[in-house]
Amino acid sequence: MFSGRGRSVRVALFPVFCSLLSLGCGDALSMRLLVLGSGAGGGVPQWNCLCPQCRRAREERDLPAAQKRFRRTQASIAVSEPGERWTLINASPDLCSQFAQAAELAPPEGALRGSPLAGVALTDGQLDHTTGLLFLREGTEIRIACTDPVWKSLNSTFPIVSVLRHFLPVERSAYPAEFGGVRIEALSLPGAPAPYEAPSEEPGQVVALRLLGTKSGRRVAYAPGLPEISDAFLAFVSGCDALFVDGTFWSEEELAPMSEERRRSIRRSHLPVSGPEGSLARLAKLPVAKKFYIHINNTNPMLDPDSPQAKEVREAGVQIAYDGMLLSFYPTDS
């Protein structure tokens, strides 16, 4: 069910009456989750990289979207509850092209301008998760949920909010927040703050998010920057229907060409996938029905679906997210 690059993935059993009548009533019943982008910072191909995987991503330029196996825009997902507007999780620099690709995020019919976007929730203040906010300036308002340190950063060191307020009102919510019937809870992780921030031990520089559908009863956790799998994290994701976690690096070997400072920062922010202490060994045992890697760096060999690394991931019961993946979570009691 998950091995292809098809458009839609059905997670729960589709209610019989809907399948018989083909009413397309998924909108009315399910929590939906759309993967807008699944790559790490810079996406794949990176604009200035000629590594083998970026080369292969460039060779896919003229293929139909469903045949693109290497290409990734920068990680972001959107979630909606039945009959509600969408909540965006992180605003990637690729936001405009991601919205243009997603029929679900097109302006609703009935007026010349509009958007089905309810708000944006942030996991941290990194450039690849916040820069897209700038491209929402043509709207009528922006609602942002984030932690105190991230809000402070977006108003000072990286003053996106100050810039946006020249165009439209910006409202901020702390966690827990609620947009469009999705309650958003955060767990602070020990990840490093953005590189342009002073080193800080203040909690909330990086968080994992848990998205609870208030109508569907479904819940999903999202952690694109996961430095460790702690007991607190395991408790936080317990009972979730799906989990999206940090698939940035396969192993520390990928960090070798980087500067020592960059290596240190990445080690503090991203747990590698492989190895006895890696995330895959832990995820394989985790009793969550659907598990996905997202935020995959151009260096990670599991990007190649034919690689032994991708096979190892699949055999451990974890899927590798791709751009355009759409999941529907049907209420358990329907």
Please give the distance of CA 181 from its chain centroid, rounded to a whole number.
19
Between 57 and 207, name the residue whose CB sits nearer to Zn ion.
57
Give me the least distance between CB of 128 and Zn ion, in Å please.
Answer: 15
d(CA 308, CA 163): 46
Between 51 and 134, name the residue whose CB sits nearer to Zn ion.
51
Contact, 77 vs 34, CB < 8 A?
yes
Q: Does 265 bind Zn ion (CB under 5 A)?
A: no
Beta strands in the chain, from DSSP E residues, in sequence order: 8-10, 31-37, 76-80, 86-89, 117-121, 142-145, 170-173, 177-179, 182-189, 206-213, 219-223, 242-246, 290-294, 319-320, 326-329
Interactions with Zn ion, residue window 275-334 (CB under 5 A): 298
Give me the least distance between CB of 51 and Zn ion, in Å please.
Answer: 3
**Cis before 199 (ω within 30):** no
Between 27 and 60, name the residue whose CB sits nearer to Zn ion.
60
Between 131 and 297, name the residue whose CB sits nearer to Zn ion.
297
d(CA 29, CA 19): 13
Instruction: Give the β-pairing of 142-145 and 170-173.
Output: parallel
Between 43 and 193, name the residue whose CB sits nearer to Zn ion.
43
For residues 105 to 144, the per-residue mask of contacts with Zn ion, x marking binding by CB under 5 A and - elsewhere, is: ----------------------------------------
Between 74 and 205, name the residue whose CB sits nearer to Zn ion.
74
Give me the least distance between CB of 247 and Zn ion, in Å please.
Answer: 16
Between 51 and 163, name the residue whose CB sits nearer to Zn ion.
51
Coil/strand/helix, residue 136: helix
Give me the least distance between CB of 298 and Zn ion, in Å please.
Answer: 4
Give me the least distance between CB of 49 and Zn ion, in Å please.
Answer: 3
Total number of residues that touch Zn ion (CB under 5 A): 5
For residues 40 to 59, the per-residue mask of contacts with Zn ion, x marking binding by CB under 5 A and - elsewhere, is: ------x--x-x--x-----
HEC readout, 143-155: EEECCHHHHHHHC
Contact, 34 vs 325, CB < 8 A?
yes
Between 3 and 259, name the residue whose CB sits nearer to Zn ion.
259
CB count in 10 Å sphere of residue 101? 17
Between the CA of residue 185 and those of 59, 302, 322, what are the distances in Å? Answer: 40, 30, 25
Interactions with Zn ion, residue window 161-220 (CB under 5 A): none
Q: Is 116 exposed, middle or buried (0-12, 13-18, 19+ CB in 10 A)?
A: middle
Give me the least distance between CB of 322 and Zn ion, in Å please.
Answer: 17
Window contacting Zn ion (CB under 5 A); options: 19-27, 39-47, 92-100, 245-253:
39-47
Which spans of this chain sit near Zn ion (rule: CB under 5 A)? Answer: 46, 49, 51, 54, 298
